[in-house]
């Protein structure tokens, strides 16, 4: 498994085909645990050049001791070698707003059910990131769709997994629901999460 621990925005601009994005700057350990079920999984890291040791240490703290190495020089060395690169298209909340009132794209909310139930884009389908692998059949392979989470971290993990599995016709909302809330996109009435307990 090629695990890219760079920031989501850098992963989107270019990454090694078939690599998965789980950035060190987010809830790294939690999402490694959720998305890589086999702790015996051999992992090859793609990190920023000074972050290899931190990534290896943080993986081993949660039981992932089978890091077989890291790409020397990081993603830049891959680019310099003129190897194939994949990209994930990201859009702003304002671009999503235009599309929402235009063609009305299919939107997937990657947040937890409790976050979705609290407030979401009207018409969006909730597929929490930790349940993504069980719900792959919900994502259309033949028509475009949009992914969003709260701030763009979890949706990039989802985007990398979907791309690895063969999906191509989708975009990710860079700053997620945090920014969508500031647009005129129709949203459900806000319910305070504490009242849902």
Q: What is the tens place of the pLDDT at every residue in 180-194?
A: 999 999 999 999 877
pLDDT of residue 197: 53
What is the band of 40 on the pLDDT scale with cuts at 50, 70, 90?
very high
Q: Which residues pair with 69 in a beta bridge?
A: 44
* Cα–Cα distance measured from residue 62 to residue 30, given in angstroms and rounded to the nearest whole number: 9
C-alpha 84 chain-centroid distance: 21
Q: What is the dihedral of CA 102, 157, 132, 87, to 10 degrees?
A: 50
User: Is the CATH number of domain 2-80 3.30.300.180?
Assistant: no
Domain boundaries, the chain: 2-80, 90-196
Task: Using the CB atoms, write b or e for 16-44: b if 16+ within 10 Å.
Answer: beebbbbbeebebbebbebbbeeeeeebe
Residue 80: other Cβ atoms inside 10 A: 9
pLDDT of residue 30: 94
Mean pLDDT of the chain: 96
Token pair 């090694």: residue: 16
Residue pair 5/23 in contact by the 8 Å Cβ criterion: yes
Structure tokens at 184: 């005129």
Q: What are the tens digits of pLDDT across the range 120-177?
A: 999 999 999 999 999 999 999 999 999 999 999 999 999 999 999 999 999 999 999 9
Q: What are the tens digits of pLDDT across the range 47-66?
A: 999 999 999 999 999 999 99
Q: Is residue 164 classed as helix, strand or coil in its secondary structure? A: helix
Residue pair 56/29 in contact by the 8 Å Cβ criterion: no
pLDDT of residue 9: 97
189 phi, psi to nearest 5 deg:
-65, 135
Decide whether 2-80 matches 90-196 in CATH topology: yes
Q: What are the tens digits of pLDDT across the range 76-85?
A: 999 999 999 9
Q: Which fold has domain 90-196?
A: Oxidized Rhodanese; domain 1 (3.40.250)
* Cα–Cα distance measured from residue 125 to residue 133, given in angstroms and rounded to the nearest whole number: 15
pLDDT of residue 193: 77
Q: Is residue 76 classed as helix, strand or coil in its secondary structure? A: helix
């Amino acid at each position: 498994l090629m695990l890219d621990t760079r920031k989501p925005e850098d992963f989107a601009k270019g990454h090694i085909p078939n690599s998965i994005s789980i950035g060190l700057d987010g809830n790294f350990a939690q999402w490694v645990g959720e998305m890589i079920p086999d702790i015996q999984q051999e992992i090859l890291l793609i990190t920023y050049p000074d972050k290899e040791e931190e990534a290896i240490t943080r993986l081993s703290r949660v039981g992932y001791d089978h890091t077989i190495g890291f790409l020397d020089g990081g993603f830049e060395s891959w680019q310099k070698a003129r190897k194939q690169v994949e990209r994930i298209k990201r859009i702003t909340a304002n671009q999503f707003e235009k599309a929402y009132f235009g063609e009305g794209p299919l939107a997937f909310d990657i947040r937890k059910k409790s976050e979705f139930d609290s407030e979401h884009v009207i018409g969006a389908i909730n597929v929490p990131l930790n349940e993504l692998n069980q719900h792959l059949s919900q994502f259309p392979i033949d028509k475009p769709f949009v992914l969003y989470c709260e701030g763009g971290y979890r949706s990039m993990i989802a985007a990398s997994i979907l791309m690895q599995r063969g999906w191509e016709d989708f975009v990710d909302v860079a700053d997620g629901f945090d920014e969508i809330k500031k647009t005129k996109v129709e949203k459900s009435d806000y319910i305070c999460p504490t009242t849902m307990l």
